[in-house]
Amino acid sequence: MTKNNHRSVRCLIALELAPGTQPEHAALKRTEADALAGLLAHDLSLLVPEISRFDLTLVAAHFDPAEAVRPGWPLHQRLIELHARAPGKTPDARLIALGADDNGAIPQPLQCDADLVGGALRVMPFLLTAPALDGDAVAVLEDTLEAQLLERGMARAETALFLQNALGARIEHVRYLTLNDLIAMTSMQYANMGLEHVWPLIESALFAPEETVWLDQAPEPLIKLADGEAHLALFTPEAWRAHYGDSNDDEQRLARVLKYFEARQRQIAAVLETHGIPVVFDCCAGSTDARAQL
């Protein structure tokens, strides 16, 4: 799981939308963002009182969960940068919230991926930062939050209603998660979708980007993850037969098999790109070792 930056705990507000609905607004206005930060701080302090010692930094805009699970953790990195630049540093904990301006314009840190709008689950990232605490103390808080939020992490009705009205959304549930919780949920979701062999590639890109990792398990597509890029093998019929050990010479059958195989490639490529992992398609021809051609 992801480690915090020795001063902060990365968390999210998870919004479960009513089926077939989407929020009218991509972000809260500044005054609404400030109000939400106050409600969030109150909710969390009821679960873990020591949170009142932490700065709370909130981006009051909603994103697809995959945008929070990308190499470099870009959503929470924006919050770390926002916290570092925020004025008014004091010994007391601060509430720092970023929202749309009075005209509804949304600054770049709040703009979600336009290609990922439409999912039933949206997330709002927030950060808990305690400059005076050491990394061990923050890690203890992270463990405490994970234990508490899994069991008792539903937002109060007042907070959920505020979010529903401010976003113009039909929200069925609002709960709080640590980033580690979201990562675990994503892994289980992919396993349920038959994508369990893809998750190790994503996990490596997140936690060990310097490593080279392969997906080379028939009948899955051949993929090499290296230097932050996923290289997918595009096979000629001859190369596909050589790599997967298929000696059947029925050309019509082979055409059908390759059609499904290529659809699976496109599915996996879309999943990887959703997590911010660039995909490169490399042609593998002939009977030469396909791995050597990636």
Q: pLDDT for 14-41, tens place per residue?
A: 999 999 999 999 999 999 999 999 999 9
E strands, 70-138, are 95-98, 121-129
CA–CA gap between residue 136 and residue 142 (Å, rounded): 10
Cβ-proximal residues to 179 (8 Å cutoff; 6+ apart), any chain:
2, 10, 11, 12, 68, 69, 73, 76
Please state, for a pLDDT cut of 70, what percent of the chain lies above it.
95
CA 119 to chain centre: 13
Mean pLDDT of 83-108: 83
Residue 232 near residue 223, CB atoms below 8 Å = yes
Residue 157, phi then psi, degrees to nearest 5: -60, -35
CA–CA gap between residue 199 and residue 193 (Å, rounded): 11
Q: Specify the pLDDT at position 132.
A: 66
**Amino acid code (one letter) for 238:** E
Q: How would you label 134-146 residue by residue, b for 16+ Cβ within 10 Å and e otherwise?
A: eeeebeebbeebb
Residue 222 near residue 243, CB atoms below 8 Å = yes
Q: Average model confidence (pLDDT) for the chain?
A: 91
CA 242 to chain centre: 37
Rg over CA atoms, the chain: 22
According to DSSP, the β-strands at 223-226 and 229-235 are: antiparallel
Q: pLDDT for 208-247, tens place per residue?
A: 999 999 999 999 999 999 999 999 999 999 999 999 988 8
3-state secondary structure 39-98: HHHHHHHHHCHHHHHCEEEEECECECHHHHCCCCCHHHHHHHHHHHHCCCCCCCCCEEEE
CA–CA gap between residue 163 and residue 165 (Å, rounded): 5
**Amino acid code (one letter) for 42:** H
Angle, alpha carbons 182-187-189 (nearest 5°): 90
Tokens 């051949």 sit on residue? 222
Closest CA to 232 of 148, 179, 290, 161: 290
* Assigned token pair, 278: 């660039």
Closest CA to 41 of 13, 78, 67, 8: 13
Closest CA to 126 of 50, 38, 22: 38
**Amino acid code (one letter) for 16:** E
Q: pLDDT for 42-57, tens place per residue?
A: 999 999 998 988 999 9
- The model carries a pTM of 0.91
